Structure formats: C-alpha cells, structure tokens
Amino acid sequence: MSTMLTIAETAKWLKSNNNYLILTHRRPDGDTVGCAGALAQGLREIGKTAYVLKNPEITPRYATYIDAYIAPDDYKADQVIIVDTASTALFPKNGDAYFNAISLCIDHHASNKFYAEYICLDSVAASCGEVLYELLLELVGSISPICAGCLYVAVSTDTGCFSFANTTANTLRVASLVVAAGAPHVKLNRKLFRTKTRERVKIESLIYAGMTFHFDGKVAIASISNDMMDEAGASEDDVDDIASIPGAIKGVLAGITIRELTSPKDCKVSVRTSPTVDANAIAAHFGGGGHAMASGFTCDKPIADTKEAIVEVLREFFPEESQQTSK
C-alpha cells in the first residue's frame, strides 16, 4: 500500500532525493511519454540527475519527446519513478525488475493499484499531464518551453485534442497555460492531430467502403482483414484508435469493429456505444467485457461469421428496429 503525497509533498520529496530513473507504461502513449519527458527536464532544471528508461515499444510518433533523456545502459538510479501507470501489469516489457522498486508513482487513474512506495494521484484529471503541470510549477517555480511542449503532448493526446468526453475545464486551463509558457502547439497539433499517413488514408477508405449498417442505421459494423492491411500497406501505428470510426457516424448507437487476427479464423472485436446501449452486455455474450460504452471480445470465427453472430446477438438490443442491412 502506497503513501499518498500531495503535490507539495511530492515536490519536496523530489527535491530531497537525486539520481532518478523514470518509467513509462506499456504501449506508451502521448500522456506517459509527455509526462516522462517533462519530469526528466524539470528535474534537470533544478540540478538533479534524471533519465528515462527506454521503452522497447516506443513509436516514432512519441519517441522525440524523450530521446534526449534516455538512460545509458550503465546508469544507476537511486529512485525509480513511474508516470501514468495504474498497475504493474502495465509496466513496460523491460520493467519486470522494477515491480517492487518504484519509489514514486504519479498518476491520474482512479484504478491505480497503489503498488509504489509513494503515490501522487489526481483521479479527476483527464490526463497525467495535468498532475505534472501542478507538480512542475511547485518543483521548478515556472514551466520552461521544453516542459511546456511535453505537457502539451500529454494533455492534448489523452483528450483527443480536447474533444473526448474526459476533457474538463482544468484540461483546457492547463493547455492554455502551457501554450502561454511556450509549447509549440501549432506544430504539435499539425503533427499529432491533423496529419494522416497515406497508409492510414488507404485503410480508412477500405474500411468505409466495406462498412455495413444494421437496425435502421443504429449499428455500424467495420471489418479489417489482413488482406486489407496488406493492400493498404498499413502498420499497427496506422490503425491507432480505428475502433472509434463506426461509432462516430451520425445516428449510430453501437459501432462494431471486427479485426482479423494473425489466424484468419480468429477475430478481435471492439464495441463502442452511446450511453443508451450497454457495450459490456454485448461483449458478455461472447465471453468478453469492458466498460458501459467501450468493450471487446475475441471470436474464433472468420470475419463474415463473426459479423453474422454479432448481428444475431444485437437483435436483442435493438428489438424494435427493422433488421435490414445496408451499405
């Protein structure tokens, strides 16, 4: 069980120690990477030694924000910190050695498992970047342009450029303050939110072309086969957040995305719903689960059969609607 620290107590602890190693979570996103970069930079600004553990799953999209802080192989840390990581199950693939060695966890997940010695947690924050902002202000006294850029990456990516439902007034307040502090938000927005790869465009086009609508347009089903991925030349980076596509169509209450796995006889299914439809209950029919508006399951059938099975189950959720299918 961790000891909870306030922002002020966390800053005091950081000031009274030295030689930090900072960890990011598995499949690192903008929030964990931005926070790690900002914290390493902030600690260096007050004269501390601080490095970030290289994450074997880092992608080019985010590597640039921590490249300058990657720990050399022979680095010996006195204190290990992890950011934006709710449980040890989410530790990076090379993080096993740190399971019982985390001095401080800085996080915003209500589900945090309190595995670290100390924890600085704000479970209302939309992003860990919002926690880091307050912490760096306390620790350093001001936010440098480099910290501001990292924090902008953190808060903006975790909220879909402030468009996701988790965005709060405080998210926007912190974004405003880091932009004022010199975050290059125009360049970052263009890179993070306003640019698609040609492969992404191609796979989206194929997905749209094959999408079907059911139950008076209340259900949209998208399929992604390995052939489609090959045809588009798409990588995993190119299909980031692709499960949100069918659910973002006007009138759709349940957006289903069927992704063929390595074996063409197995599929992974993502379910995204509006508040009136229980995504968890849909997934439960197939032995899966998740949240009320986002769930998932796997199905040991080819895409076409998986789709048929899902439509069959959905009849229970949309009993009133005519059951025609359209493209």
Residues in touch with a copy of itself (CB under 8 A): 160-165, 167-173, 175-177, 179-180, 185-186, 189-190, 193-198, 201-202, 204-205, 208-209, 211, 213, 217, 248-251
For residue 97, the minimal CB distance to a copy of itself (Å) is 37
Largest CA-CA distance found in the chain, in angstroms, rounded = 67
**How far apart are the C-alpha atoms of 93 and 82, rounded to whole Å?**
14
Single-letter amino acid code for the residue at 291: H
Whichever of 93 and 173 has its CB closer to a copy of itself, that residue is: 173
Residue 2: CB minimum distance to a copy of itself, A: 31
Closest CA to 150 of 17, 27, 237, 44: 44
Q: Which helix (H) or strand (E) holds 299?
A: strand 294-299
Helix (H) / strand (E) element for 200: namely helix 198-210
Of the pair 36, 151, the CB lying nearest a copy of itself is at 151
Instruction: Indicate the residue among 166 and 263 with the shorter CB distance to a copy of itself.
Output: 166
CA distance 179 to 149: 8
Q: Whose Cβ is closer to a copy of itself: residue 17's or residue 189's?
A: 189
Q: Judge whether 269 and 243 are in contact, CB under 8 Å.
A: no
Least distance to a copy of itself from the beta carbon of 296, Å?
Answer: 20
Question: Closest distance between a copy of itself and the C-beta of residue 125, in Å?
Answer: 14
In angstroms, give the least distance from the CB of 211 to a copy of itself.
7
Task: Calculate the alpha carbon distances from 185 to 33, 77, 179 in Å.
Answer: 16, 33, 6
Cα separation, 164 vs 288, in Å, equals 24
Least spacing, CB of residue 76 vs a copy of itself, in Å = 40
Between 173 and 265, name the residue whose CB sits nearer to a copy of itself: 173
List of residues 6+ apart from 137 with CB closer than 8 A: 143
Cα radius of gyration (the chain): 22
Output 114 or 162, the one with its CB closest to a copy of itself: 162
